[in-house]
Amino acid sequence: LMLENALRHALEREELELDYQPQWAMPGQRLIGVEALVRWNHPERGRISPAEFIPLAEETGLIQSIGDWVLHEACRQQAAWQAAGLPPLTIAVNISALQFRRADFAGHVRQVFADSGVSPSHFELEITESALMQPSVETEAQFASLRKLGLGLALDDFGTGYSSLSYLKRLPLTRLKIDRSFVRDLPGDPEDAAIATATLSIARDLGLEVVAEGVETEAQRDFLLERQCAVMQGYLFSRPLPATAITELLASQA
């Protein structure tokens, strides 16, 4: 309960912050995007992981205002990078299932972009499979509206949830993220090798981009490279970084 009250005040006390984990176009390892990851700097407890406070935010309904803050902050940062004349970067923002189920979520997102004055075309929303349980006509309409705005739509944690392959057919997705649980034991584990290979193959045939997440070793990278995985993310390349560090990376690549 104490943590819940503290989270309630975290927004107005400006205790939330976004880190950004680089996503690299392979094989040249060029920085093309970042995943925004929210952090809470609690005054007494220090940094609290989103793995701990996002579930709390979902239980308490605070996820709506936290989600709004994340999207606004990502827009503000994108505008700052653009104003500095840095090369374009796609920002991926995680969307909770509860945000997605809000009535007229797509209209709400459109308004956030209109208010912030940045184009949605350099943004991507990451939606987990669990958000798509029993995708309805409304889900399909939301996806279509979001896509029409120019947003990329990524299926996060692909293969871990309840998805059926029919989602890939029915929803206007642009990307699949191979979950890091399938990357961790590459290249040695035959099941993971088969799953990663099959995911890359089906994505290619459906015209979807793929991001492999949780790439930690050169052996994992090389396995994925051999199978033409075009984008990678993980500790081998970089941890999530504060915006200032991304600015430096971008400037050094310009």
Nearest 10 degrees: Cα torsion 232, 235, 240, 244: -90
Residues making up the chain, counted from first to last: 254
Q: How far apart are the first and last CA of the chain?
A: 47
Q: Crossing angle of helices 137-148/105-116, nearest 10°?
A: 20
User: In terms of CB distance, is 156 or 192 closer to Na ion?
Assistant: 156
Give the interface segment with ligand G, choosing from 45-53, 79-87, 115-123, 137-145 (CB under 6 A): 45-53
Q: Are 176 and 141 in contact (CB under 8 A)?
A: no
Which residue, 140, 142, 147, 98, is CA-closest to 124?
Answer: 147
Q: CA–CA distance from 78 to each of 83, 93, 142, 237 (Å)?
A: 9, 12, 24, 22
Residues 195-234: x/- map of binding to ligand G (CB under 6 A)? ------------------xxxx-----------------x
Q: Which of 35, 73, 124, 156 binds Na ion (CB under 5 A)?
A: 156
Residues 152-171: x/- map of binding to ligand G (CB under 6 A)? ----xx--------------
Q: Is 96 in the site for ligand G (CB under 6 A)?
A: yes
Q: Is 19 in the site for Mn ion (CB under 5 A)?
A: no
- Scan residues 2-41 and list those touching ligand G (CB under 6 A): 21, 37-38
Q: Which of 19, 126, 179, 192 binds Mn ion (CB under 5 A)?
A: 126
Other CB atoms within a 10 A radius of the CB of residue 55 amount to: 12
3-state secondary structure of 134: coil
Q: Which of 10, 26, 34, 54 binds ligand G (CB under 6 A)?
A: 54
Cα-flanking dihedrals φ and ψ of residue 204, to 5°? -60, -45
- With contacts defined by CB under 5 A, how many residues of the chain interact with Mn ion? 3
Q: Are 96 and 138 in contact (CB under 8 A)?
A: no
Kindly state the DSSP code that residue 88 receives in the 8-state scheme: P
User: In terms of CB distance, is 132 or 215 closer to ligand G?
Assistant: 215
Give the interface segment with ligand G, choosing from 47-55, 132-140, 164-172, 219-227 (CB under 6 A): 47-55
Q: Which does 165 bind (CB under 5 to 8 A by kind): Mn ion, ligand G, Na ion, none?
A: none
**Interface positions with Na ion (CB under 5 A):** 156-157
**Interface positions with ligand G (CB under 6 A):** 21, 37-38, 49-51, 54, 70, 94, 96, 156-157, 180, 213-216, 234-235, 240
